[in-house]
Amino acid sequence: MSYVDEVLKRVKEKNASEPEFLQAVEEVLDSLRPVIDANEETYRREAILERLTEPDRQFKFRVPWVDDKGQVQVNTGYRIQFNNSIGPYKGGLRLHPSVNTGIIKFLGFEQIFKNSLTGLPIGGGKGGADFDPKGKSDREVMAFCQSFMTELCKYIGADVDVPAGDIGTGAREIGYMFGQYKKIKSTYEGVLTGKGLTYGGSLARTEATGYGLLYITQELMKCHGESMEGKTVVISGAGNVAIYATQKAQQMGAKVVTCSDSTGWIYDPEGIDVELLKEVKEVKRARLTEYAAARKSAEYHEGRGVWSVKCDIALPCATQNELLLDDAKALVANGCKAVCEGANMPTTIDATKYLQENGVWFIGGKAANAGGVATSALEMTQNSERLSWTFEEVDSKLQQIMVNIYHNIDDAAKRYGQEGNYVMGANIAGFEKVANAMIAQGVV
Ligand code: NDP
Ligand code: 2IT
């Protein structure tokens, strides 16, 4: 049995109850076969794949807080520090009822390769809780965040582990968590990213994941002799990534005709009104029915359905496993040229294969959504030098990083005779740097 197959078998046996983690490991290890096979003896002796698929450490803890009725509530908090061979652990905090060990492990595992691809010195980690901020008052969210940080603060630090936002964690939650960290530790340090602009946050971090997604998509199109101008784009999600992806796509001259949330989706043939979407989602924290009620051209549909809309480019920006095989078939049948992932692992493995086999240019999340964490690393740099850069400075660095990522993953795929397989290119380019650092640092 090959080394990859041996490790895959062992990982499946050990983590049988964590399907999302197994999916992420399978996708990565499968595509690393050419690299591993070429250096099998070294990687096997060093147990590189076993070490990569076993987190450095994982914390799971009780988060008690009091709701507005005086009732004590209990959630489960997580932080998984996966790999710090190229820098301090770095990755977001997800607050969503679906959060469990397997979800955080899959996200932390992906983060290792994504962070490596940015070219910046950051390792992989992820955390969160099964808390649902939806429908909670600001006071309840603050109570939860303070209790969560009371425990989390023992494990993180500006040079140790630097959490940030993800689903359900935005500027409000990061603010409350930062305040509590500072209160307990009596130290003012860049321990979180995505902070408010008046207390150490970076300009362009809010926009970075969505903007970065469009910068890499634009480079992909350019390298295939196409542009974004006049293209029809279908986007899922209506949160941080989806909103700023929509905004940047429009600035590039494309028309974005959909968005979605967990209850339904919007088809707006005249193009999504980003200011209205921001008002509904960022200010009112309301459902998309409010968008439809305020906009004549918009149709609201219950359930899921954005991938059935005819488009040139599809950008999944909501959550994992939201683009399935049948959706991939619909996209291909409708002539979609490119799919780039704003979310983490939104496309299932069979859907990804179908898209690739049918000539759709496909860039996975590790490369396509790396602009968020890259800009977080730029926030860490600014915090360290106690300076803040202008929006234009950060944005131009972000553009350069995304263009570099495109060419790195394209080159890596070509090196192994797999031109156009950007999934393989991303996994290989991300892996090589981490594996080299692990070997250089010995058995730790
Ligand atoms: P937000 O919480 O801001 O928005 C998430 C959006 O996705 C909401 O519209 C939400 O709808 C929808 N959604 C979430 N869960 C589900 C679900 N189970 N089914 C259907 N829709 C769902 O999160 P972000 O925009 O920050 O994150 C979106 C994706 O991008 C995630 O995969 C995240 O890991 C990834 N990502 C985020 C980065 C960042 O910087 N924020 C960086 C890189 C990747 P509803 O409001 O109804 O729940
Ligand atoms: O998935 C991700 O890359 C993020 N949620 C952003 C992580 C970060 O540290 O900015």
By the 8 A CB rule, do 35 and 416 touch? yes
pLDDT band at 116 (very low <50, low <70, confident <90, very high): very high
pLDDT at 414: 98
Whether the domain at 55-189 and the domain at 208-368 fall into the same CATH topology:
yes
Name the residue of 107, 118, 262 whose CB sits within 8 Å of the most ligand 1 atoms, as the mutation to test its pocket: 262
List the chain domain ranges.
55-189, 208-368
pLDDT at 374: 99
CA angle 437, 439, 442 (to 5 degrees): 110
pLDDT at 99: 98
Sequence-distant (6+) residues with CB within 8 A of 65 are 72, 73, 75, 140, 143, 144, 146, 147
Q: Which CATH class is domain 55-189?
A: alpha beta
Task: Encode pLDDT of 286-342 as tens digits.
Answer: 999 999 999 999 999 999 999 999 999 999 999 999 999 999 999 999 999 999 999
pLDDT band at 273 (very low <50, low <70, confident <90, very high): very high
Task: Encode pLDDT of 144-177 as tens digits.
Answer: 999 999 999 999 999 999 999 999 999 999 999 9
pLDDT band at 250 (very low <50, low <70, confident <90, very high): very high
Task: Encode pLDDT of 236-248 as tens digits.
Answer: 999 999 999 999 9
Separation between Cα atoms, residue 254 and residue 228, nearest integer Å: 6
pLDDT at 299: 97
Dist. CA 27 → ligand 1 center (Å): 21
Note the ligand closest to the C-alpha atom of 110: 2
Name the residue of 103, 160, 369 whose CB sits within 8 Å of the most ligand 2 atoms, as the mutation to test its pocket: 369
pLDDT at 66: 98
Percent of the chain residues topping a pLDDT of 70: 100
**Rg for the chain (alpha carbons), in Å?**
21
Query: Strands across the sheet with 264-267, in order?
Result: 258-260, 264-267, 299-302
| Superfamily of structural domain 208-368 | NAD(P)-binding Rossmann-like Domain (3.40.50.720)
pLDDT at 12: 98
By the 8 A CB rule, do 263 and 287 touch? yes
pLDDT band at 75 (very low <50, low <70, confident <90, very high): very high
Q: Any idea which residues carry the catalytic annotation?
A: 126
Looking at the CA of residue 365, tell me the nearest atom of ligand 1.
44
Percent of the chain residues topping a pLDDT of 90: 100
Task: Encode pLDDT of 342-376 as tens digits.
Answer: 999 999 999 999 999 999 999 999 999 999 999 99
pLDDT at 235: 98
Note the ligand closest to the C-alpha atom of 88: 2
pLDDT at 85: 98
Output the ligand 1 site: residues, CB below 6 A. 165-168, 209, 237-242, 261-263, 317-319, 342-344, 369, 372
pLDDT band at 61 (very low <50, low <70, confident <90, very high): very high
Residues recorded for the chain: 444
Dihedral Cα 398, 401, 406, 407, nearest 10 deg? 150
Does ligand 2 have an atom closer than 6 angstroms to the CB of 112?
A: no
What mean pLDDT value characterizes the chain? 98
pLDDT at 222: 98
What's the predicted TM-score (pTM) here? Answer: 0.98
